[in-house]
Chains A and B, each alone.
Chain A
């Protein structure tokens, strides 16, 4: 397949040079033949325009060779030295040389053209691809990158990115070795999952597909790598996962909630209806004392029901009605809570001590105050027969996590109760006041803030309620 190569601007200079050398050769021939008039071998110089023409214009060099041959023959014919067969021989050699050089040059030019063309195509693809592409050397240097890669890594330009060692673009540079080993082994990688580091230090989740680049002798010289950024996809997947888990937890919470509420609300109803029936009977029988008892039970059940409903409502509000969280020194919340129930503390004779400095937390201030009031009151209510009841509010750092606690030296509780006390309407002691929703509410508040709560206690050895909160 031959292609006509049209002369371009660059070739104009060549034409001038070529013409200049041809004219020089012709002048030289005339000068030797008619001025010096001796036999001087000058025809070697004719190869200059012939070779130039062959290189630049390929087989068209034959015309130049033919022309120069004719000139050589003519000047020899009209000049004193005799015309010999050698002269014709030389002219033929001119043509042969011109043809050979022209042919070879043309062949080479065709190959170069194809290469250039393919390189142009490839390079356009490389440059404009929206997939970040990286060409790296075996030694771990960047050889070339496209704009998409520069953008992906957040560098100013291509040169800045190429200055960085490839392993340093990995979150864990060791990963790079593992990756190249794998490419060396199988010749390519497909969707190799790796975390890369951007210029600003942020980490991106990517999949890299690479192919090995070898030289003619089969030695590895580098890699072509296409990077796919899946950070967003991964984030969304994780988000979805999280939401699913959240829903699951909420669902089982809801189930338990409905179960508890239906049971606990039903209980006073059974009482009310039962005693209403008994009341009717007792009135018929004129049993005044019994009537009084019946009415007491009915009234109590109605009160209980009212309290249960109030607490249920309060609990359901926690998730729905939230004050925006703010940065508050935890000590301030403790102080506020203690002020709120100063009366109760004083009358109960409990000695309250608090840590001196608390970390600052990011919480719903009002709700947290509610939590502390609740926990302190619990400690007061379960101080038992303790002659010198104490409450200690503080915090400790446990494995890098800040754990707040409200500790007392009251009656404490058995391990089997530790989880149950957080159940809605669960009461350790039937005779204590309240519905048993307090700790359920506390737990819910802590969890809504993003913390955890648990109990450390042994029967008779006091009780420590621990919780975590988002720390600023």
Chain B
């Protein structure tokens, strides 16, 4: 079905949780590359190819975004809002992955057009199963618009974003190995 591996962007400030998510997706390694950024600003830098993500090689357009809500600098809601306001990015499915079960968070996420809302479970079996299934669904089973996928080439230049953030921390996106 695919000519190149799918790309998942993981926005997660907690290193342990990021690793946990990546391990949950281990089985899909061959077909799925994961890029990890650790705060909201960095996520937008990646998506809009700014700063250290200016080159396309460093920031392939993701097919799926896994987004935590509690993030330093720019929180997940704001990141989600920016993504869904952007003509080019709004088609990318965004799965909110958080420990928050707060109704307000859930409502706000869906108001900002989150595609799914997933609560991190303390039970690793359940957690990895859900992450796996969800990723599998969005990346393999769900059929995205081919038309849209082709827009990939020049997202950075066209987007119309309110917040112009400069990257602060020298965090490097870790592709899963």
| Residues of A close to B135: CB separation below 8 A | none
* Residues of A that sit less than 8 Å from B by CB: 259, 262-264, 266-267, 269-271, 273-278, 293, 297, 300-301, 414, 416-417, 426-431
A428-B124 in contact given A275-B16, A300-B16 (Cβ < 8 Å)? no
Known pairs A429-B169, A430-B13; A270 contacts B72 (CB<8 A): no
Q: Contacting A269 at CB < 8 Å: which of B39, B122, B128?
A: B122
Cβ-closest 10 pairs across A and B: A277-B124, A274-B124, A271-B16, A266-B99, A274-B20, A273-B122, A297-B16, A270-B120, A263-B100, A263-B99
Question: Roughly how many angstroms separate A428 CA and B72 CA in the complex, as a whole number?
Answer: 6
Size bracket of the B interface? 20 to 34
Among residues 63 to 78 in chain B, which have CB atoms less than 8 Å away from a CB atom of chain A? 70, 72-74
Whether A267 lies near B127 (C-beta < 8 A) is no
SS class, residues of chain B in contact with chain A:
loop
A274 x B127 contact (CB < 8 A): yes
Q: Which residues of A contact B19 (CB under 8 A)?
A: 293, 297
Interface 1/0s, chain B 140-177, versus A by CB < 8 A? 00000000000000000000000000001100000000
Interface on chain A toward B: helix, strand, loop, or mixed SS?
Answer: helix
Known: A274-B124, A277-B125. A267 touches B169 (CB 8 A): no
- Bound form: Cα–Cα A429–B26 in Å: 29
Other-chain contact of A271, B14, B38, B73, B101 (Cβ < 8 Å): B14
**CB < 8 Å neighbour of A270 from B73, B102, B127, B168:** B127
Shortest CB-to-CB span from B73 to chain A, Å, is 7
A428–B38 alpha-carbon span in the complex (Å): 12
Q: Are A275 and B20 in contact (CB under 8 A)?
A: yes
**B70 with A273: CB separation less than 8 A:** no
Indicate if the CB atoms of A430 and B23 lie closer than 8 Å.
no
| Cβ B73 vs Cβ A417 within 8 A | yes
CB <8 Å contact, B99 and A271: no
Distance between B22 CB and nearest chain A CB, rounded to angstroms = 11
Expressed in whole angstroms, the minimum distance between the Cβ of A294 and any Cβ of chain B is 9
Residue of B nearest to A290 (CB): B23
Identify 16 new A-B residue pairs, CB closer than 8 A, beyond the known A263-B100, A277-B125, A430-B38: A259-B100, A263-B70, A263-B102, A266-B122, A267-B14, A267-B120, A270-B99, A271-B17, A271-B20, A276-B124, A278-B124, A301-B16, A414-B73, A416-B73, A429-B168, A431-B169
